[in-house]
Structure 1
Amino acid sequence: MTFTVLITVWRKPGMSMEAFYDHYENVHMPLIRELAGDKIPISHNRLYVERTGTELKERMVQPSECGDGIDYDAVAELNFEDEAHNLAYWKVLYAPEAQGRLTEDEYKFMDRSKLRIVSMYKKELMIRNDFHAGKDSVEKYSFLPHGKFA
């Protein structure tokens, strides 16, 4: 069973969302890939909070709840083969030879005082394909729970 970690990330005060995104994607993620090597997670998905005003609320089913009270700027979801893989990843990133470079970079674009990391108990994946058994091949999408909803 995979092991999932969620990280909430706040921008460095005064940094634009565009600069935050650019640094995260084009500087920080390549550094993570370099430092983690073969301990890199199975996936490292980054989701950025959209704050575009009233037009965003008009696109949502429950507009009164759209983004209200949300002060973080991104959520990262890291998926590992198992808990041992997760621990190996963090051990590599926080080894003395890597930690300094990682921490130095984090201070360039994020507010580390607010950074939060949490492991998730269980993750169930549901995708549209699950409702149409046989539409896509099991070989092509072997990581998906084929037939679960058939």
Structure 2
Amino acid sequence: MKFRFLFFITRNPSFSSAELKTHWDTKHVELLRSTMGENFPLTHSRHYIARPAETNGSWPAAVLVEVQEDFPYGGIVELVFPDEVAFQTFLGIYSAPRAAVGRRDVHRQREDEGSSIG
């Protein structure tokens, strides 16, 4: 039975949805793919919160209900694995110090560009 794992993408409030999407699609996912190899999930789907226009130096979420404070994240990621054992293997590799160094490098690179995305 397939195992699904969902998590929120954190974001710097000064980033547009397009900047966040570009960073995740070109940096984070590629780093994850190269780190995980055959342990990369079957699917890695990202759904970004729409933030169409800058307002006073931030990018408010386009929401129908609730308030901006309910949307501090930039998106939701769904990872699908063949089973929970595959997820646990993935998590073990992802949590290892070597993988953490690569993630810090990606964060540091983005900070050098002016901000950070978590």
CA 31–94 in structure 1, closer or farther in 2 if over 3 Å, else same: same
Gaps of 5+ in 2: 54-61, 111-115
TM-score normalised according to structure 2 size: 0.73
Q: Which has the larger radius of gyration?
A: 1
- C-alpha displacement at 1:40, in angstroms? 0.5
Q: Is the 8 A contact 1:36 1:92 kept in 2?
A: yes
Is the helix fraction higher in 1 or 2?
Answer: 2
Whole-angstrom CA distance in 2 between matches of 1:64 and 1:29: 29
1:52 aligns with 2:52: yes
Change (3 A) 1:100 1:35: same
How many pairs align? 103
Structure 1 runs not aligned, ≥5 long: 58-62, 112-150
Q: 1:94 Cα shift?
A: 2.0
The letter of the residue matching 2:87 is N
How far the C-alpha of 1:70 sits from its partner, in A, is 2.6
Q: Deviation string for 1:14-57 (max 9, x for gaps)?
A: 2332221111001111111000101011111000011337xxx8
The amino acid that maps onto 2:71 is: I
Alignment map for 1:10-49 (pairs within 5 Å): 10-49=10-49
Identity %: 24
TM-score norm. by structure 1 comes to 0.59
Q: Secondary structure, in 3 states, of the residue corresponding to 2:22? A: helix
Moved over 4 A (4+): none
Cα root mean square deviation, aligned? 2.4
